[in-house]
């Protein structure tokens, strides 16, 4: 009989990158993590020994707990979280099962330092259009769901990065930026180790729209039009980012699940 307190690798893989994905909590011991310092996308590292101290942090969330093999640590932590009223499951087979199934894994050592609330902090130019919405979407969905984004005048990005310990992106002469014809979104996918068929397809659309190479893929023109329209609808950059998340969610789902689907109406018969 299938476990009611575990989630399988195929079940979890269908949720990764979606707005309704569970919060992933990695409770591997340090030796196991150090042997393979990668994480399931958007995972949070926590010490299983102190679960009673941090369990309340996940109140009201759905959680999937990951240990090395899906045995005592993840099952024990998930049981403790459920005791605290958290909807928690353990990942069946753990990190090893996910890795062996070629599940998407994040290069954790590429993560920037976190602030005192455990969030990564990023800064870029104000009035985002394409790449500066694409990158926060990728970070929120696959790297750090609680990431903070600061939008400031272009000339002030380096100083704000320095004063507020924020990571600058999508400006000249920084690590997280364009490389040749590839966008910052491409750079982040590559550096974080997030290459996948769906994200690579989305990256091509983003690159085409962001670099005015609209003949690269047929979706680029519509994507650019929607992005520019959003930029005109919102005065506040953070409001625009929140609205833009839905656009990227929709295109990611199309890239992952619907790129072969066509519209089949009208059927061809003449309607009088």
81 token code pair: 């979280």
**How far apart, in whole angstroms, are the C-alpha atoms of residue 47 and residue 26?**
8
Q: What per-residue confidence (pLDDT) applies to 11?
A: 97
- pLDDT for residue 1 is more than 50: no
**How far apart, in whole angstroms, are the C-alpha atoms of residue 176 and residue 112?**
11
**For residue 267, what pLDDT band results from cuts at 50, 70 and 90?**
low
| DSSP per-residue string spanning 13-71 | HTTTTSTTPPEEEE---HHHHHHS-EESTT-EE--GGGHHHHGGGGTTSEEEEE-SSSS
Percent pLDDT > 70 in the chain is: 97
pLDDT (tens digit, 9 = 90+) per residue, 154-211? Answer: 999 999 999 999 999 999 999 999 999 999 999 999 999 999 999 999 999 999 999 9
**How far apart, in whole angstroms, are the C-alpha atoms of residue 13 and residue 32?**
22
**How far apart, in whole angstroms, are the C-alpha atoms of residue 32 and residue 68?**
7
Residue pair 71/43 in contact by the 8 Å Cβ criterion: no
Q: What per-residue confidence (pLDDT) applies to 2?
A: 56
Alpha helices (H) in the chain, listed in sequence order: 9-13, 30-35, 51-54, 72-83, 94-100, 131-138, 157-163, 184-191, 197-210, 220-233, 237-253
- pLDDT for residue 272 is more than 50: no
Q: What per-residue confidence (pLDDT) applies to 15?
A: 98
Residue pair 138/252 in contact by the 8 Å Cβ criterion: no
- pLDDT for residue 268 is more than 80: no
* Exposure letters 156-194 (e unless 16+ CB within 10 A, then b): ebeebbeeeebbbbbbeeeebbbeeeebbbbbbbeebeb
Which of these, 80, 76, 84, lies nearest to 59 by C-alpha position? Answer: 84
pLDDT (tens digit, 9 = 90+) per residue, 59-84? Answer: 999 999 999 999 999 999 999 999 99
Q: What is the mean pLDDT of the chain?
A: 95
19 token code pair: 């707005």
Between residues 248 and 271, the one the model is more confident about? 248
11 backbone φψ class: left, alpha, beta (φ>0; ψ -120 to 50)? alpha
**For residue 148, what pLDDT band results from cuts at 50, 70 and 90?**
very high
Q: Where do the domains of the chain lie, and which CATH numbers do they carry?
A: 6-108 (3.40.250.10), 111-258 (no CATH)
CA atoms within 13 A on the CB side of 272: 0
């Amino acid at each position: 009989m299938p476990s009611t307190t575990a989630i399988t690798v195929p079940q979890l893989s269908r949720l990764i990158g979606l707005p309704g994905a569970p919060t992933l909590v990695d409770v591997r011991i340090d030796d196991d993590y150090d042997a393979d310092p990668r994480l399931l996308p958007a995972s949070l590292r926590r010490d299983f020994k102190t679960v009673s101290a941090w369990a309340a942090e996940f109140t009201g969330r759905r959680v999937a707990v990951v240990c090395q093999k899906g045995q005592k640590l993840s099952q024990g932590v998930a049981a403790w979280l459920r005791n605290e009223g958290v909807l928690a499951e353990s990942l069946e087979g753990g990190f090893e099962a996910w890795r062996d199934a070629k599940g998407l894994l994040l290069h954790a050592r590429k993560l920037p330092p976190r602030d005192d609330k455990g969030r990564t902090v990023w800064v870029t130019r104000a009035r985002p259009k394409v790449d500066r919405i694409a990158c926060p979407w990728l970070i929120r969905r696959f790297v750090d769901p609680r990431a903070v984004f600061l939008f400031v005048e272009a000339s002030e990005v380096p100083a704000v990065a320095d004063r507020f310990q924020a990571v600058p992106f999508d400006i000249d002469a920084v690590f997280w930026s364009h490389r040749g014809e590839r966008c910052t979104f491409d750079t982040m996918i590559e550096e974080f180790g997030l290459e996948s068929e769906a994200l690579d397809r989305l990256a091509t659309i983003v690159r085409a729209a962001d670099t005015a190479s609209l003949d690269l893929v047929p979706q680029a023109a519509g994507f650019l039009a929607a992005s520019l329209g959003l930029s005109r609808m919102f005065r506040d950059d953070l409001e625009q980012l929140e609205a833009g998340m839905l656009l990227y969610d929709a295109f990611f789902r199309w890239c992952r699940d619907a790129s072969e689907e066509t519209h089949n109406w009208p059927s061809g018969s003449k309607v009088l």
